Amino acid sequence: MGIKENLEFYGNNIPEHVNLVAVSKTKPVSDLLTAYECGQRIFGENKVQELANKQPQLPADIDWHFIGHLQSNKVKYIAPFVSLIHSIDSLKLLKEINKQALKNNRIINCLLQFHIASEESKFGLDIEEATLMLKSETFSLMDNVKIVGVMGMATFTSDEQVIRKEFIQLKDIFGKLKQDFFQDDENFKEISMGMSDDYKIAIEEGSTLVRIGSAIFGARN
Ligand SMILES: *Cc1c(COP(=O)(O)O)cnc(C)c1O
């Protein structure tokens, strides 16, 4: 199956309230253009340099999502154009995004990334860290970032129950933050969860953004 057929599949199988992020990391610009020509407008990349290199080669109306671990010193390369950063895992990073967004006269939308997997290696906050961050004066003074939701990655396992439990955990975190900090903020509405192998479970558990790579573009090397 080609990119076009794969996108058609997701077009027909993802509910209307869920947006598809086409994860194009490692894939050539020609593949992204094929997806674009099929109507895909949201693309996800996880390396700053790769994203900054691809962006000027593709149409300007693409929504670029950054989905990987982001180092503060690299924010400046994507701040002029990035539309959503999925991977906020520290106040320091958020502060730098605010600074670079201000420089570019923009407001950058961000998601708080939570550590929901049982694996050690995955980045992300826990609820206590996020609460401290959102209560801090530093955060209250940031005018150029907007927190629009949460993101998480489930454990890499074939055990559906483990995956489901972790997605439910993320949904609960979203609900708690909504109640405590974003009750009257209609922008706080995104739950980014679900990839090629677990998007169905993620949608069942409340995902609003699925990040799908290999099932659209083929396996990565
Ligand atoms: C690579 C990646 C994806 C997509 O993974 P697939 O299994 O290829 O769909 C989703 N989210 C993040 C954070 C990624 O790094």
Contact present, 166 and 155 (Cβ < 8 Å): yes
Distance 46 CA to ligand 1 centre (A): 9
Contact present, 155 and 119 (Cβ < 8 Å): yes
- As to burial, measured by CB atoms within 10 angstroms (0-12 exposed, 13-18 middle, 19+ buried), residue 197 is middle
Length of the chain counted residue by residue: 221
List Cβ neighbours of 61 (8 Å cut-off, separation of 6 or more).
Answer: 41
Going by C-alpha positions, the residue among 75, 77, 111 that lies closest to residue 96 is 75
CA–CA separation, 4 vs 19, rounded Å?
Answer: 17
Nearest CA to ligand 1 atom 11: 211
Distance 56 CA to ligand 1 centre (A): 23
Pair type for strands 190-192 and 63-66: unpaired
Pocket flag, ligand 1, residue 23 (CB < 6 Å): yes
Per-residue pLDDT at 113: 98
Pocket flag, ligand 1, residue 50 (CB < 6 Å): no
Neighbours of 180 (CB within 10 A): 13
CA 147 to chain centre: 12
Distance 199 CA to ligand 1 centre (A): 11
Bridge partner list, 145: 108
Per-residue pLDDT at 120: 76
Pocket flag, ligand 1, residue 47 (CB < 6 Å): no
Distance 153 CA to ligand 1 centre (A): 9
CA–CA separation, 132 vs 171, rounded Å?
Answer: 19
CA–CA separation, 178 vs 173, rounded Å?
Answer: 8
Nearest CA to ligand 1 atom 6: 213
Pocket flag, ligand 1, residue 68 (CB < 6 Å): yes
Distance 103 CA to ligand 1 centre (A): 30
pTM: 0.97
Per-residue pLDDT at 121: 67
Q: Mean pLDDT for each 10-residue chunk of the chain (221 residues)? A: 95 97 98 98 98 98 98 98 98 98 98 91 89 98 98 96 98 98 98 98 98 97 85
CA 54 to chain centre: 18
CA 122 to chain centre: 14
Per-residue pLDDT at 122: 64
